[in-house]
Structure 1
Amino acid sequence: MTTVREATFALLEAYGMTTVFGNPGSTELPMFRDFPEHFRYVLGLQESVVLGIADGYAQASRNAALVNLHSSAGTGHALGNLFTAYKNQTPLVVTAGQQARSILPYEPFLYAQQATEFPQPFVKWACEPARAEDVPAAIARAYHVAMEPPWGPTFVSVPIDDWDRECDPIPVRRMFARNPGDPAALAEAAAALAKAERPAFVVGAGVARDGAWDQVIALAERHAAGVWVAPLSAQCSFPEDHPLFRGFLTAGREAIVESLGGHDLILVLGGPMSLYHVEGFGPHVPEGAGLWFIGDNPVHAAWLPEGNAVVADCRLALDTLLAGPEPVRRAPLPPRAVLPRLGGGVMTDAYLLQQIAALRPKGSIIVEEAASSRGAMHDRLPILARDTFYTTASGGLGYGLPAAIGTALARTGDKVIAVLGDGASMYAIQGLHTAAQLGTPVSFVIVRNGRYEALHSFGRKFGMQSLPGTQLPELDFCALAQAQGVVARRAETAAELDAALKWSFAADFPSLVEAVVD
Structure 2
Amino acid sequence: MTSNAPRSDASGLAQSTPFTVRDAVIDLMRRLGMTSVFANPGSTELPLFRDFPQDFRYVLGLQEAVVVGMADGYAQATRNASFVNLHSAAGVGNAMGNIFTAFRNRTPIVITAGQQARSILPFDPFLASTQATELPKPYVKWSIEPARAEDVPLAIARAYYVAMQEPRGPVLVSIPVDDWDRAAEPVPARVVSTGARPEPFVLEQIGAALDTCERPVFVVGGAVDRAGGWDEVVSLAERHNARVFVAPMTGRCAFPEDHRLFAGFLPAMREKIVELLGGHDLIFVIGAPAFTYHVEGHGPHLPAGATLCQLIDDPAIAAWAPTGTAAVGNIRLGVADLLSRPAPTTRPLPAPRAARPRAEPSALMSVAFALQTLAEVRHANDIVVEEAPSSRPVMQNYLPFTRSGTFYTMDSGGLGYGMPAAVGVALAKPGTRVIGLIGDGSSMYSIQAIYSAVQMKLPITFVILNNSRYAALQDFAPEFGFGPDDPVQGTDLPGLDFVSLAAGMGCHGTRVTDAERLQEVLREALASSGPRLVEVVVA
* TM-score bracket for this pair, using the shorter chain length: over 0.9
Structure 2: which 5+ residue stretches go unaligned? 1-17
1:173 to 184, 190, 208: 190
8 Å CA contact retained: 2:264, 2:353: no
Residue number in structure 1 paired with 2:376: 358
Matches within 5 A, 1:123-272: 123-272=140-289
Between 1:452-461 and 1:334-343, the stretch displaced more is: 334-343
**Does 2:105 match 1:84?**
no
Between 1:342-351 and 1:223-232, the stretch displaced more is: 342-351
Residue number in structure 2 paired with 1:395: 413
Secondary structure at 2:263 match in 1:
strand
* Cα distance in 2 between the residues matched to 1:298 and 1:245: 27
Residue number in structure 2 paired with 1:409: 427
* Cα distance in 2 between the residues matched to 1:383 and 1:169: 45
> How many angstroms does 1:382 deviate by?
0.5
**Does 2:487 match 1:466?**
yes
Secondary structure at 2:178 match in 1:
coil
1:486 to 499, 507, 511: 507
Percent identical across equivalent pairs? 55
* Cα distance in 2 between the residues matched to 1:42 and 1:411: 15
Residue number in structure 2 paired with 1:432: 450
What are the Cα deviations for residues 56-93 of structure 1, in whole angstroms up to 9, with x where unaligned?
00000000000000000000000000000000000000
Residue number in structure 2 paired with 1:43: 60
* Cα distance in 1 between the residues matched to 2:459 and 2:478: 38
Matches within 5 A, 1:340-359: 340-346=357-363, 347-359=365-377
Residue number in structure 2 paired with 1:326: 343
* Cα distance in 1 between the residues matched to 2:464 and 2:26: 39
* Cα distance in 2 between the residues matched to 1:211 and 1:351: 32
Residue number in structure 1 paired with 2:10: none
* Cα distance in 1 between the residues matched to 2:65 and 2:477: 27
Secondary structure at 1:392 match in 2:
coil
Between 1:202-211 and 1:493-502, the stretch displaced more is: 493-502
Between 1:55-64 and 1:495-504, the stretch displaced more is: 495-504
2:395 to 373, 377, 401: 377
* Cα distance in 2 between the residues matched to 1:177 and 1:468: 47
8 Å CA contact retained: 1:208, 1:387: yes
2:121 to 86, 91, 104: 104
> How many angstroms does 1:345 deviate by?
2.2
**Does 2:466 match 1:448?**
yes
What are the Cα deviations for residues 256-301 of structure 1, in whole angstroms up to 9, with x where unaligned?
1111001000110001131100000111111111111101111110
* Cα distance in 2 between the residues matched to 1:328 and 1:283: 31
* Cα distance in 2 between the residues matched to 1:482 and 1:54: 25
> How many angstroms does 1:177 deviate by?
2.9
* Cα distance in 1 between the residues matched to 2:82 and 2:312: 23
> How many angstroms does 1:196 deviate by?
0.5
8 Å CA contact retained: 2:380, 2:403: no
* Cα distance in 1 between the residues matched to 2:162 and 2:185: 22
> How many angstroms does 1:323 deviate by?
2.0
- Relative to structure 1, the CA distance from residue 52 to residue 170 in structure 2 (aligned partners, 3 Å threshold; closer, same or farther) is same
TM-score after normalising by structure 2? 0.95
* Cα distance in 2 between the residues matched to 1:252 and 1:300: 18
Secondary structure at 2:147 match in 1:
coil
What are the Cα deviations for residues 406-447 of structure 1, in whole angstroms up to 9, with x where unaligned?
000001121100100000000001111111111111000000
Between 1:488-497 and 1:372-381, the stretch displaced more is: 488-497
* Cα distance in 2 between the residues matched to 1:418 and 1:80: 19
Amino acid at match of 1:453: A
> How many angstroms does 1:325 deviate by?
4.2
Amino acid at match of 1:393: D
Residue number in structure 1 paired with 2:529: 508
> How many angstroms does 1:113 deviate by?
0.7
> How many angstroms does 1:361 deviate by?
2.3
Residue number in structure 2 paired with 1:367: 385
Amino acid at match of 1:440: L
Secondary structure at 1:484 match in 2:
coil
8 Å CA contact retained: 1:27, 1:70: yes
- C-alpha RMSD of matched pairs (Å): 0.9
* Cα distance in 1 between the residues matched to 2:32 and 2:160: 8
Secondary structure at 1:144 match in 2:
helix
> How many angstroms does 1:496 deviate by?
2.2
